[in-house]
Chain A
Amino acid sequence: MNRSLRPLLATTIIFVLAYALAVSQYPGLLSTRVLGNFLTDNAFLGIAAVGMTFVILAGGIDLSVGAVIGFTTVLIAVLVMWAGLHPLAAFAVALVVAAAFGATMGAAIAYLQVPAFIVTLAGMFLARGAASVISPDSIGIKHDFYTAVSQTYLLLPGGGRITVIGGLMVAVFVLGALLAHRTRFGSAVYALGGNPTSAALMGVPVPRTTILIYTLSSTLAGLAGAVFSLYTKAGYSLSAVGVELDAIAAVVIGGTLLTGGYGFIAGTFIGVLLQGLVQTYIVFDGSLSSWWTKIVIGGLLFMFILLQRLIFSASAPSRKALWKA
């Protein structure tokens, strides 16, 4: 069996087992209603996590995701409520701004050769700061479009609802998977994550790909911001704090190797669902406090990284580097 499929398989098995265990305790969990809520409640996280998957596949990291989501919600709220723009036009403006922001960060990483970690950290400060400069207070959004979207859904048998934002997340995952596995850009991302020097020698346009990757990540974060604003019907500069960490956790739990080069968009989807499951379980239980979510997700993160280490230990890049030295 293909070795790179193993972490994905492990994640899927663990999700199915965990879900079965949760259902055996609370049979109510096994309903399309709960599944529909999984999608709706985690839509913004899922969309952001698709972008993060591309970044991590290429061996990078994007810490600005949560801040971009927060900035986008504020920008949309201001455009809709103060400037009187139609929400769809506001979404378009927000996506363009987010894309430009990502392209700038990508260019800094590609041309200044500064660690992605620190560039996106600066981006995070900038986006959060800009959001709170625009409006430090939460702005409620009242618009017919928002009401219409929240009342539109696909009814599943059993009373479950696939909302617009839940469906959008699934669509983004499908498109993301196609982009990763069926296009030239996708191959370039994997090549870059595997080994940038050989990628460059093989003719992968490294700077262009790097810029595109961070543009994609920020654009998807912008889309996640639009979804978040539809979800909460408000724009607030401090919304979605720490989402970048949840997104990274989802990507890692989904079996993508943090050194880049290996991984699947589909795995990230399961990673997002697994986090949703942990949260839903804790809500169902009622006696467990919400801080257990953090501990369990931290524990899962650790377990999956350990699993990856065991599976890939033979080809661990740092080990190779050690012998080269």
Chain B
Amino acid sequence: MTRLSGIFLRPQVAALVAVLLMNWLLFPDFFDLTWRDGRLFGSLIDVLNRGAPVAILAIGMTAVIATKGVDLSVGAVMAIAAAVAATLVVGGQPAIVAVTAALAAGLLCGLWNGVLVTYLDMQPIVATLVLMVAGRGLAQLITEGSIVTFSDPVLIYIGTGAFLGLPMPVVIALALLLLTTLLVRRTALGLMIEAVGVNKGAARLVGIPARLLLIGAYAFAGFCAAIAGIIVAGDIRGADANNAGLWLELDAILAVVIGGTSLLGGRFSIPLSVLGAVIIQAMNTGILISGLPPEFNLMVKAGIIILILILQSPLAAEAFARRMPKRKTAPRERTMP
């Protein structure tokens, strides 16, 4: 459980501050904000804006990982949602219909994953692999293989507009963060999700609707992916089935892991996952403005994952706190989060 007052003492916050300071040293204007045409401009806003799609994916991914699962299909679902929205507005439908249909498509993809995991008892990594492989094909089927471009003002506003001076993607991500955090922490929902993540069988025996929660978690991840897909489509004013959301599932998982959510299930924090997404984007921006070739980006990311893995590993936990009993985790459970 993360109390809002305790969140400022987290290592993730220290990491973000360190990355931002590094950016500031490299680029002294980094924290400069200007107000122009009714919205804020500046590198900091840019970090938030670029990080918003991954942050939104990370919110959904957190719910899935908390149940000891993983969703590899979110990138493909983004492409599907973008394709649905773009094709509908180009076909003359109003934007509200397009957005609703895209969200419904995302929800449907998530439900499909959830049913595979819950009722067919597939390991999450495999169940979502199916949609990851086939999803991009489906998206291309919808766009008929071309990049569908549109000029619908509402969709473009979702991707590039501003509300109260903040870019729309940031506003959407913040609203989603607030709503889900309140929902899981002000009700018993979060506790029940954690119970399912720790031990599905035990959770069912104490009367938690484990299957419903599992399906719900995957459906929510699909829904979040659809939102991210619409934002990305609005940003580039088109749906590119091949490249929309490509490899973003890995960034989303990375954001969740940086946020300290356990891949073994049972412990999660949505605000910290969003913070993880912002850290990743701040790093990306930092590498870009430092003049280092963007190729170093991946290596820096890998280095950070390795560092976090070592810190999070049971070995380190034993070294830090001797009171923890030695875990005998079966490789099957270790390898299939």
| Contact surface of A with B, Cβ cutoff 8 Å | 58-61, 108-109, 111-119, 121-126, 128-130, 132-133, 136, 192-193, 195-197, 206, 210, 237, 245, 248-249, 252, 258-260, 289, 291-295, 297-299, 301-302, 305-306, 309, 313, 316-319, 321-325
Q: Tally of A-B residue pairs with Cβ under 8 A? A: 177
Chain B, interface SS category: helix
Docked CA distance A295–B130 (Å): 9
Q: B130 and A298: CB pair below 8 A?
A: yes
Q: B253 and A121: CB pair below 8 A?
A: yes
CB-defined contacts of B337 to chain A, threshold 8 Å: 115, 117-118
Segment of B17-25, B120-128, B151-159, B231-239 in the binding face: B120-128
CB-defined contacts of B131 to chain A, threshold 8 Å: 298
Q: Cβ of B205 < 8 Å from any Cβ of A?
A: yes
Q: Most chain-A CB neighbours within 10 Å: which of B137, B299, B332?
A: B332
Output the least CB separation between A58 and chain B (Å): 7
State whether A291 and B130 are in contact (beta carbons under 8 Å apart), knowing that A108-B309, A112-B309, A118-B257 are contacts in the complex: no
Q: Cβ of B164 < 8 Å from any Cβ of A?
A: no
Q: A117 and B125: CB pair below 8 A?
A: yes
Output the least CB separation between B175 and chain A (Å): 30
| Contact surface of B with A, Cβ cutoff 8 Å | 70, 116, 120-123, 125-127, 129-138, 140-141, 145, 199-202, 204-205, 241, 250, 253-254, 257, 263-264, 293, 295-303, 305-306, 309-310, 312-316, 327-332, 334-337
CB-defined contacts of A323 to chain B, threshold 8 Å: 201
Docked CA distance A53–B263 (Å): 24
Output the least CB separation between A306 and chain B (Å): 7
Docked CA distance A252–B334 (Å): 20
Docked CA distance A108–B309 (Å): 9
Docked CA distance A132–B334 (Å): 31
Q: B327 and A298: CB pair below 8 A?
A: no
Q: A122 and B305: CB pair below 8 A?
A: yes
17 A–B contacts from the bound complex (CB under 8 Å):
A59-B331, A59-B335, A109-B334, A112-B316, A115-B335, A118-B263, A121-B250, A122-B305, A122-B306, A130-B299, A136-B295, A249-B129, A258-B123, A298-B130, A298-B133, A302-B116, A305-B130
Docked CA distance A285–B127 (Å): 30
Output the least CB separation between A296 and chain B (Å): 8
Pick the residue among B121, B129, B299, B332 that contacts A196 (CB under 8 A).
Answer: B332
Q: B297 and A136: CB pair below 8 A?
A: no
CB-defined contacts of A306 to chain B, threshold 8 Å: 120
Query: Which residue from chain B places its CB closest to the CB of A246 in the assembled complex?
Result: B133
Pick the residue among B129, B199, B330 that contacts A195 (CB under 8 A).
Answer: B330
Output the least CB separation between A17 and chain B (Å): 21
Output the least CB separation between A166 and chain B (Å): 25
CB-defined contacts of A260 to chain B, threshold 8 Å: 331-332
Output the least CB separation between A160 and chain B (Å): 30
Query: Which residue from chain B places its CB closest to the CB of A258 in the assembled complex?
Result: B126
Q: B136 and A133: CB pair below 8 A?
A: no
CB-defined contacts of A119 to chain B, threshold 8 Å: 309
Output the least CB separation between A73 and chain B (Å): 16
Output the least CB separation between A46 and chain B (Å): 18
Pick the residue among B121, B202, B253, B303 that contacts A319 (CB under 8 A).
Answer: B121
Pick the residue among A112, A249, A309 that contacts B122 (CB under 8 A).
Answer: A309
State whether A316 and B121 are in contact (beta carbons under 8 Å apart), knowing that A112-B309, A125-B305, A294-B134 are contacts in the complex: yes
Query: Which residue from chain A places its CB closest to the CB of B246 in the assembled complex?
Result: A241
Pick the residue among A117, A128, A313 that contacts B335 (CB under 8 A).
Answer: A117
CB-defined contacts of B136 to chain A, threshold 8 Å: 291, 294
CB-defined contacts of B315 to chain A, threshold 8 Å: 111-113
State whether A118 and B309 are in contact (beta carbons under 8 Å apart), knowing that A125-B301, A129-B295, A319-B121 are contacts in the complex: yes
Q: Most chain-B CB neighbours within 10 Å: which of A121, A193, A248?
A: A121
Q: B331 and A294: CB pair below 8 A?
A: no
Docked CA distance A167–B236 (Å): 46
Docked CA distance A58–B135 (Å): 28
Q: A295 and B141: CB pair below 8 A?
A: yes
CB-defined contacts of A295 to chain B, threshold 8 Å: 134, 137-138, 141
CB-defined contacts of A121 to chain B, threshold 8 Å: 250, 253-254, 305
CB-defined contacts of A316 to chain B, threshold 8 Å: 121
Docked CA distance A295–B306 (Å): 34
Query: Which residue from chain B places its CB closest to the CB of A112 in the assembled complex?
Result: B313
Q: B253 and A129: CB pair below 8 A?
A: no
Q: A325 and B335: CB pair below 8 A?
A: no
State whether A126 and B298 are in contact (beta carbons under 8 Å apart), knowing that A115-B335, A297-B133, A298-B131 are contacts in the complex: yes
Docked CA distance A121–B331 (Å): 17
Query: 7 shortest A-B CB distances, which residue pairs?
Result: A298-B134, A129-B298, A325-B201, A294-B137, A129-B299, A125-B302, A291-B140
Q: Can you name 14 extra interface pairs (CB under 8 A) apart from A122-B306, A195-B330, A324-B201?
A: A59-B335, A121-B305, A125-B301, A125-B305, A129-B297, A210-B331, A260-B332, A291-B241, A294-B136, A295-B141, A297-B134, A301-B133, A301-B134, A309-B120
